């Protein structure tokens, strides 16, 4: 019997994947686990490195390369379907397990309460550019009560790195096919919202993981088009789940105000005049920074001045 599946989805992670695998293999556990890898047609040596580990540890690894590129959510679902464990720990090909008992701690919590859909835990941020680590970056969220945790979740303010799921609850409450038909590229928000609204959940007040922040990660691509696409994906997701679960009006107001503030910042940074005007109009409350970002979106001289400051 396999208690835990380490669910590892990869795409062009050759620079980091070996460190990720080493952090998994160093785990000290008293249960059976497997490492299920779904490679989404990497064009570098990611799969070659993973296959080297599979040859060394054939009893642990189940590796498959998708026949065609599925995207993050499609790869998540396809890899999940090959997992045999009662619990699922999801990790990206550039993140790390921080401690040798990280998996043990999460599984112990899930085994103690069958009503739990997931357990969340602390994470350090490793900023690769300057090699700075910010410990327990999500401490405020992890230590919050359940209602405050949900607010952070609904607003898209979680760092969904150190999360272990109950596969039974994933299969019962998360409608992957619906979300795939929505052409989503964000997998964690719909999964966590569905589970938080339909199951019990808890947190571990300790940092067990390391999240790499680098220019190649999906959420840190720096072009305007990439940022704008992700912001609108998140807005569409929020609107969908707001309708599905009827969020509190204060959460709806907070999300939309933050959304337009973020768009206004992008408009100022990239000098997008029309988006600057539209976002500024829709802000219900405006700060001095919002006026500056609006001016920067309309005037190149001001934008250059702001970037210097």
Transcribe 145-171 into DSSP letters: -HHHHHHHHHTT---TTSEEEEHHHHH
Domain-by-domain residue ranges, the chain? 4-219, 220-308
In tens, the pLDDT along 37-78 reads 999 999 999 999 999 999 999 999 999 999 999 999 999 999
Please say whether the structural domain 4-219 has been given the CATH code 3.30.70.260.
no
What is the C-alpha to C-alpha distance for residues 198 and 176, in angstroms, rounded to an integer? 15
Instruction: Report percent pLDDT > 90 for the chain.
Output: 88
**What's the pLDDT score for residue 221?**
46
Q: Collapse the DSSP code of 243 into the 3-class scheme (helix H, G, I; strand E, B; otherwise coil) and give the result.
A: helix
Q: Which residues contact 231 (CB under 8 A, 6 or more apart)?
A: 259, 262, 263, 266
d(CA 94, CA 21): 9
pLDDT of residue 309 exceeding 50, the answer is no
69: left (phi over 0), alpha (psi -120 to 50) or beta: beta
Percent of residues, the chain, with pLDDT higher than 70: 96
Write the pLDDT tens digit of every residue in 233-291.
Answer: 999 999 999 999 999 999 999 999 999 999 999 999 898 999 999 999 999 889 999 99
* CA–CA dist 238, 190 (Å, integer): 9
Mean pLDDT of all residues belonging to the chain: 94
pLDDT in tens, 170-223: 999 999 999 999 999 899 999 999 999 999 999 999 999 999 998 654 444 468
Q: How far apart are the first and last CA of the chain?
A: 59
H or E stretch covering 94: none
Composition of the chain by helix, strand, coil, percent to 5: 50, 20, 30
- pTM reported for the whole predicted model: 0.93
Q: What is the reported pLDDT for 304?
A: 75
Q: How confident is the model over 78-112, as pLDDT tens digits?
A: 999 999 999 999 999 999 999 999 999 999 999 99
């Amino acid at each position: 019997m396999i208690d835990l599946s380490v669910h590892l989805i990869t795409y062009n992670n050759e620079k980091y994947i070996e460190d990720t695998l080493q952090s998994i293999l160093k785990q000290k556990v008293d249960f059976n686990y497997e490492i299920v890898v779904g490679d989404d047609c990497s064009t570098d040596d990611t799969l070659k490195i993973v296959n080297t580990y599979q040859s060394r540890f054939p009893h642990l690894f189940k590796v498959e390369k998708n026949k065609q590129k599925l995207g993050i959510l499609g790869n998540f679902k396809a890899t999940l379907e090959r997992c045999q464990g009662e619990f699922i720990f999801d990790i990206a090909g550039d993140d790390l397990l921080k401690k040798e008992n990280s998996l043990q701690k999460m599984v112990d919590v899930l085994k103690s309460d069958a009503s739990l859909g997931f357990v969340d835990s602390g994470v350090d941020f490793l900023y690769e550019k300057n090699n700075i680590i910010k410990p327990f970056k999500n401490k405020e969220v992890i230590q919050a009560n359940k209602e405050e945790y949900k607010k952070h979740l609904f607003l898209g303010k979680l760092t969904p790195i150190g999360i272990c799921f109950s596969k039974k609850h994933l299969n019962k409450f998360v409608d992957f096919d619906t979300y795939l038909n929505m052409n989503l590229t964000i997998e964690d928000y719909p999964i966590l919202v569905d589970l938080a609204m339909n199951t019990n959940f808890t947190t571990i007040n300790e940092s067990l993981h390391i999240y790499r922040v680098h220019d190649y990660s999906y959420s840190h691509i720096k072009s305007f088009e990439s940022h704008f696409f992700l912001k609108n994906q998140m807005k569409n997701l929020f609107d969908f789940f707001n309708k599905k679960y009827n969020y509190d009006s204060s959460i709806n107001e907070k999300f939309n105000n933050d959304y337009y503030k973020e768009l206004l910042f992008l408009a100022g940074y990239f000098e997008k005049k029309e988006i600057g005007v539209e976002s500024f109009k829709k802000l219900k409350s405006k700060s001095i920074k919002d006026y500056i970002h609006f001016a920067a979106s309309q005037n190149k001289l001001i934008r250059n001045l702001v970037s210097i400051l």
